[in-house]
Chains A and B, each alone.
Chain A
Amino acid sequence: MLKRLSVFVVTLVAGAVALGGEVMADKYLATPWQMGFQEPRSPSAEQIFAFHDLLLYIEVAIVLFVLAIMAYIIVKFNSKANPVPSKNTHNTLLEVVWTVVPILILVVIAVPSLKLLYFTDRTENPELTIKVTGNQWYWTYEYPDNNAIEFDSIIVADDELEEGQPRMLTVDNALVLPVNTNIRILLATNDVIHNFAMPSLGLKLDTTPGRANETWVSINDEGTYYGMCSELCGVSHGFMPVQIEAVSKEAFNEWLVGAEEEFGSNDSFTDEVVKFASAISQ
């Protein structure tokens, strides 16, 4: 076991070295021995990150406060140091204080908490809409605004991985999204409840049968983002990762041209209906 532990220490060092290099720079996923959040790469994730800092300061202070009292009690009020116990069982002021002070702390927490909640909920002016559908056990991505591009995104098996592709996180067709764009994400499912999650983008929402759930994202940086299904959805729940390729707007438009050809709807009748419908709406 010691040997294994040493292997992990080596991995840790190697991971730290790799982090400094260019190779890892555009991949956003957890690193070995990580103790905190993944770096935030969207406005929502940045706010979650900042709010958690506030929470952590308050909570660490509370835990240390309680520990300090416990330590004091252990030293001062053990049966040797204090053979005769006091009979003090009431102190109204003290009881009021330890009720009111927590309430004040909770108010300090609640205000930014609700701001964060409403900010992350949805976007007013989406520039792009995509639809994500959960299946046992893969994701289907659709771009309804762009010739109904639709494709499945399935995990790449361990023995088919290429150099630099992380295990359990790599898919055949990643979701391609432009950076710095307000993207509306609609979520649906074809079978059970799944959860579309991307830690570094502050994204997470269930795909609930019978509902179209909505959330949004705006990605700050180009690169590859990795996440995993986050609601138990059956045997292969652990093996339906989310992979997002964030590219510049220009590159995204170029990708769309090829993708429409490869994944778009070739049904000309549908095209006619869409054109007709948009003509009417104008």
Chain B
Amino acid sequence: MAHDDHKPGFAKRWLMSTNHKDIGTLYIILAIAAAIIGGGMSMFIRLELMEPGTQYIQDFQLYNVLVTAHGFLMVFFVVMPAMIGGFGNWFVPLMIGAPDMAFPRLNNISFWLTAAGLIMLVLAGLTGGGPGTGWTVYPPLASADFHPDAAVDFAILSLHLAGAASILGAANFITTILNMRAPGMTIHRMPLFVWAILVTAVLLLLALPVLAGALTMLLTDRNFGTSFFIVDGGGDPLLWQHLFWFFGHPEVYIIILPAFGIISQIVSTFSKKPVFGYLGMAYAMCAIGVVGFVVWAHHMYMTGLDVDTRAYFTAATLVIAVPTGVKIFSWLATMWGGSIDFKTPMLYAFGFIWLFVVGGVTGVTLANAGMDTAFHDTYFVVAHFHYVMAIAAIFAMFGGFFYWIGKMCGRQYNEAMGKVQFWIFFIGVNVLFFPQHFSGMAGMPRRIPDYPDAYAGWNYVSSIGALITLVGTILFLWIAYRTVTSGEKADANPWGEGATTLEWTVDSPAPFHTHEIMPDMTGKAPAE
């Protein structure tokens, strides 16, 4: 099919790559590396919290640094690179029938800036006392008075690099999706994963410059005598919170929208049905993106905002439940009447829906400013966002990995092992995070290295869950290793009639160059 499958030498291929598939692979490798570090940190946290009193971490600044770095790593260097950089790079061009991304060299810069950002973050953790600010980096705690060494500066520069990488990547995706679709692949025929990446890229393009501005202001506050966030100089720490969350709330949709896209592809494939209510699904994502920009202060209910402001943000935040509800019901309706194969990716799709529904309803609770008096900064919030965003995103990533690994490396995973891995991981994360609802309701604050003895029981259960999750994670790495090195050869389309999108029309593994002649989609069934 591909008459020229010439690959450059190793250094040229992997260090100077302009090929969307190779860059996608690099992103996935980076995400796995960061996940091992960031996940390891969370294991440390759970071991420390397994019992009351001090177990392993004597230095509470170190505890705060672990909490902070875990957040940074998982958000900026695991989920975003894996979903957008990894699966996005690999499958957006394949799904729309384009030969590559619109700006291949820009794509290369994006990846290496992300890699530099990861190195900078590791340096931040190793500098002085480390950044013990939480991933929200609230001044004045993050100011030079309270974090005098260069650790926070390194963290700021790390986010700057990762942010710049994401802005460039976003521009690349938007251009690619708008300009390089195959003939007949109209906007309303794009696979939902492509829709998800498009909306995500727009969110990135609008939200990240705000973060960059705020980070720069914090940097000059710390080093050059400005006082944007310092009260003594006429500044206001709440300005930081407004700017941070104006970025930070869209950021959680940046994380979960690509997950929506992956789940839509998986559900449709294994139900052997087109997605139910395709247009509703696409525009629900657009609606989530738009509303996501006007709800940021629900992270700030307890800062002393005016009561009318809190009332507005309560109402606006509740609205998000409507488009997310549409997505859940549409997935269920897609399965309804289907002929479902319960392969590992489909199990992960079911798991995703469970996590997202549980995290979604607790989100409805937390949307209410009045309820936040009980829940703000408790483990209830930790349980909520791990369910709805963090673990849900990981489920979509695992689902996506099992779904596409055959296409990416030409070898198929072991189905039985995949199912065992799913069940261990699913049980693990639920035992880990569900009890945190109870601790939170009983009043246990987050980000504390020790807790009053009453909270010991559920924390112990939670840590047991973490150990189960660890087993599941190691098993995943093992399966991934076995698949890549000695898995069975994958067919071009291992999933059968349900897999209708264009990536299944090319060989497995996908050749170095694909769609050299644009496929003609005119008059064909919508690609959803």
Contacts and interface: CB of A to CB of B under 8 A. Distances in A.
Interface of A: 1, 4-5, 8, 11-12, 15, 29-38, 44, 47-48, 51-52, 55, 58-59, 62-63, 66-67, 69-70, 73-74, 77-79, 82-91, 94-95, 98-99, 102-103, 106, 109-110, 113-114, 116-122, 136, 166-169, 187, 191-193, 195, 197, 199-200, 202-206, 208-211, 213-214, 226-239
B141 A193 contact: yes
Contact of B322 (A1, A79, A99, A229): A99
A191 B369 CA distance: 26
Contact of A70 (B319, B353, B373, B451): B353
Given A117-B307, A195-B376, A38 B443 contact: yes
B338 A86 contact: yes
Contact of A48 (B338, B358, B364, B374): B374
Contact of B442 (A4, A38, A214): A38
Interface stretch (B98-106, B108-116, B130-138, B425-433): B130-138
Given A73-B332, A205-B304, A113 B368 contact: yes
Most chain-A CB neighbours within 10 Å: which of B236, B280, B315, B333?
Answer: B333
B357 A120 contact: no
Given A70-B350, A204-B373, A82 B458 contact: no
A79 B340 contact: yes
B456 A228 contact: no
B19 interface: no
B146 A234 contact: yes
Interface string B269-288: 00111111110100000000
Nearest to B328: A66
Contacts of A66: 328, 332, 353, 357
A129 to B, nearest CB: 17
A213 B304 contact: yes
Contacts of A29: 443, 452, 454
Contacts of A238: 60, 445, 447-451
A142 to B, nearest CB: 18
A24 B328 CA distance: 46
Given A106-B318, A230-B376, A237-B447, A85 B272 contact: yes
Contacts of B438: 33-36
Contact of A168 (B61, B138, B450): B450
B434 to A, nearest CB: 11
A-B CB proximity, top 7 nearest = A238-B448, A86-B337, A116-B370, A199-B443, A210-B231, A213-B304, A59-B361
A88 B337 contact: yes
Contacts, number: 300
B237 A209 contact: yes
Contact of A232 (B64, B339, B378): B64
Given A48-B371, A82-B339, 4 more contacts: A36-B442, A87-B274, A91-B276, A238-B448
B342 A98 contact: no
Contact of B378 (A109, A230, A237): A230
B362 interface: yes
A8 B334 CA distance: 45
5 contacts: A89-B278, A90-B277, A102-B321, A230-B376, A235-B60
B336 interface: yes
B27 to A, nearest CB: 31
Nearest to A212: B304
A30 B340 contact: no
Nearest to A207: B304
Given A31-B454, A235-B132, A237-B447, A4 B460 contact: yes
B290 to A, nearest CB: 16
Interface in B445-476: 445-458, 460, 464
A208 B445 CA distance: 18
B238 interface: yes
A30 B338 contact: no
A90 B357 CA distance: 23
B443 A113 contact: no
A34 to B, nearest CB: 4
Contact of B368 (A38, A109, A136): A109
A208 B237 contact: yes
B457 A12 contact: yes
B376 A77 contact: no
Most chain-B CB neighbours within 10 Å: which of A4, A74, A98, A205?
Answer: A98
Nearest to B230: A209
B340 A77 contact: yes
A101 to B, nearest CB: 9
A130 to B, nearest CB: 17
Contacts of A235: 60-61, 64, 132
Given A62-B357, A73-B340, A209 B231 contact: yes
A37 B133 contact: no
Given A106-B318, A109-B364, A110-B315, A8 B460 contact: yes
A192 B140 contact: yes
B314 interface: yes
Interface string B286-313: 0000000000000000111001001100
B139 to A, nearest CB: 8
Contacts of A90: 276-277
B507 interface: no
Contacts of B354: 67, 70
A52 B443 contact: no
Contact of A231 (B321, B377, B460): B377
Given A66-B353, A191-B146, A195-B302, A85 B377 contact: no
Contact of A69 (B146, B280, B332): B332
B44 interface: no
B148 interface: no
Interface in B346-399: 350, 353-354, 357-358, 361-362, 364-365, 368-374, 376-378
Nearest to B378: A230
A94 B445 CA distance: 42
Nearest to B304: A213
Contact of A166 (B339, B365, B453): B453
B52 interface: yes
B322 A106 contact: yes
B326 interface: yes
A12 B329 CA distance: 41
A117 to B, nearest CB: 4
B365 A232 contact: no
A208 B447 CA distance: 19
Nearest to B231: A210
Contacts of B449: 238
B64 A237 contact: yes
Nearest to A238: B448
